[in-house]
Amino acid sequence: MKKTVICCMLLWAFSVGAALGQTASVTIDTGAEGLPLNPGMFGLFFEEINYSGDGGLYAEQIENRSFEDYRLPEGTVIRGGKAVGPNKGWGVEFRSENKFPNWEFSARDVEAYLTLETENPIHPNNPSYACVTVGTAFPNGEAVLSNDGFWGIPINKGEKYKFSVFARVPEKTPVGVRLVGPENAVLGETTLEIASAGWTKYEAVFTGRETADARLELVFTKPGKVYLDEVSLFPPTFNDRPNGLRRDLVERFRDLNPGFVRFPGGCVVEGCTIANRYQPTTTLGPTETRPSRWSLWGYRSNQGMGLHEYLQFCEDVGAEAMLVVSCGMVCEFRDGGMAPVEDLQPFIDDALNAIEYALGPVTSRYGAMRAAAGHPEPFNLRYVEIGNENWSKAYIPRYKAFHAALKAKYPDLIYISCIEIPDADVDIRDDHFYATPGKLAVIPDRYDSETRGKRKVYIGEFGVSQKVHNGNLNDALGEAAMMLGMERRADLITMASYAPRFHNVNDPSWSVQMIGFDNRRTFCQPIYYVQKMFATQKGDRVIPTEVSVLRPKDGTPARDLFAVAHRDTQTGDLLVRIVNRSAAQADVRIELKNWTGKTEFTVEEEVLTSEKATDRNSLDEPEKVVPKTSEFRASGTAFTYKAAANSLTNLRLKLSGSGLRNSE
């Protein structure tokens, strides 16, 4: 059985080289049944990196809203100017002198000072808060505490902005709130009367007077003390949800038609220490009760986009949810610590509680919390991955302990392992690949010798990370060739997700991204359009496809041309994908083997290419590399198609079902 499958796979979408100016032939066996293709094969991966959540998808405009960003990464100590973990000596540069990162305090004609305090906080999970003390005040004097958000707060004329703050005072005190734009133009303002001695939430709504980037100012003019925490400002959000998401970024996600979303990582799941790991249930409930958490990509997150928001996001974009849970192992690239196997129960309980939040009945503890949050129906959680990039032998007993406990309570979920474990119950194995464009293109070949029928493979992270050119067309075509190779091995590779997705252009922690943005604009790199072309143009069966190339005179082929074909049994169409990584156009003869239907038909053409392989998109040129569509007529059982240099092409042959084998 194993040998038969391998032989078939070598024929089903064999990819070969196309040297400059070569002529290739693509032969599609239209009479074959083909392999079933997972309709949700290509999904999304989201991780708090590049300010993709805070300062990105999560719409909160105030950075360090709860005054916790000065804190060290959980479980570390300062040593030699670095925050250092307890095991391998891993550390990260960390400056702790500024107790108010991203805030500025000034005073004019008034005696005033700002302090950070921890006695009687709003909640133990957020122990720090600000105290503004005003002494003698002269006429027109004021103290100002300001925050310019994540590289500027974007205000649009006529839009409404929801402000809130938790505050308490010994005596009633007015606090001015204003949005200030260029040249100190006031774009919105109000005054709050702070009157409560206990923590109380105060709210206001601004309507933008002009379109400009602004800073938030809290203004103090009267003598006394004001204690502040959880200072927040939200623009209009996707579906107008409180604590919601940035509309344009959600729409970018949704337009990809993702099959699933993997969350919350990535290395952030493991953390840099055990204490720094992602704990999903701590991200539930009111935002003022959620602890902030240092992301090992270099900044602290307020965790406003928590487990509930993630599950709601999956529902909004029409995707199934995949939850990655900590298995008690710290990132093995970093500190490498781990909890003893006999002490794993709290980690397992946290995973079980998170799953109960997503799926449990409203009579359960966490199901009731979900209902109280406005979602009594279960969320569409389908996959649980145990750990992330845990490759050592220490992972095996931890996977087994987690799987036994989770499977016993939730037998219908699909469980994913980080590595191959021959003697364990594994539904899907997660493999990650980062390489050059050329190496990525041929990585799927390694799966030809792998046994089918035991379990499936999920390529949970892949992308160009070597010889990288900031996500240009050349990078994207290497990734496209890899995706094509995944499709042709659909009997083994069932899912894949590119990484990472989002990138705030002001924080280049990871040089390659799919969607770039600043505080107002977005743009998509060529890989975004590759993903969209794969996700929105597809069939339901992969048909045996042979590719051959007429050798150049010197007899040295290069692996630059890749092709695969799908059958769409619902429409009768045939979809042919072609990746041409060559710098020259390729004449491709497409032959419909065993075709018995009509011999004149329309071909819908979608092509992603550009003048140069080094072209990419940017905020200033967001559509330099985008797909273009057209159609043409073809006749006979074979026709020649000119595949553009440096291109990904989808050809949809409108065959109306006649002559194609029906998979039913």
The first and second tokens of residue 288, run together, are: 């003022």
pTM: 0.93
Query: What mean pLDDT comes out for the span 385-391?
Result: 96
What CA–CA distance (Å, rounded) separates 375 from 379? Answer: 8
Confidence of residue 226 (pLDDT cuts 50, 70, 90): very high
Q: List residues bridging with 177 in a β-sheet.
A: 190, 218
Q: What is the pLDDT of residues 286-299, one digit of tens each?
A: 999 999 999 989 99
% helix / strand / coil in the chain, to the nearest 5? 20, 35, 45
Residue 344 has pLDDT above 50, yes or no: yes
- Measured in degrees and rounded to the nearest 5, phi and psi for residue 499 equal -140, 145
Q: What is the pLDDT of residues 247-284, one digit of tens each?
A: 999 999 999 999 999 999 899 999 999 999 999 999 99
Among candidate residues 169, 301, 303, the one with its CA nearest the CA of residue 229: 169
Which is more confident, 88 or 181? 181
What CA–CA distance (Å, rounded) separates 29 from 36? Answer: 15
Among candidate residues 36, 33, 32, the one with its CA nearest the CA of residue 593: 32
Quick check: helix, strand or coil at residue 517? strand
| Architecture of the domain made up of 2-38+539-654 | Sandwich (2.60)
| 259-273, 502-516, 560-574, range with the lowest pLDDT | 502-516
The first and second tokens of residue 387, run together, are: 């750990």
Strands (DSSP E) contained in 465-609 are 493-497, 502-504, 515-517, 522-524, 541-543, 545-549, 561-567, 574-580, 586-593, 600-608
Q: Look at residue 17 in the predicted model and tell me its pLDDT.
A: 43
Residue 285 has pLDDT above 90, yes or no: yes
CA max distance for the chain: 93
Confidence of residue 468 (pLDDT cuts 50, 70, 90): low
- Mean pLDDT, the chain, as a whole number? 92
Is 108 exposed, middle or buried (CB count within 10 Å of its CB: 0-12, 13-18, 19+)?
A: exposed
The domain defined by 103-234 folds into Jelly Rolls (2.60.120)
Q: How many CA atoms lie within 13 A of 606 on its CB side?
A: 16
Distances (CA, A) of 58 to 53, 61, 246, 284: 5, 9, 6, 15
| 121-135, 293-307, 507-521, 632-646, range with the lowest pLDDT | 507-521
Q: Look at residue 96 in the predicted model and tell me its pLDDT.
A: 75
Where do the structural domains in the chain lie, given as residue ranges?
A: 2-38+539-654, 103-234
What CA–CA distance (Å, rounded) separates 148 from 62? Answer: 7
Q: How far is CA 482 from the centre of its chain?
A: 19
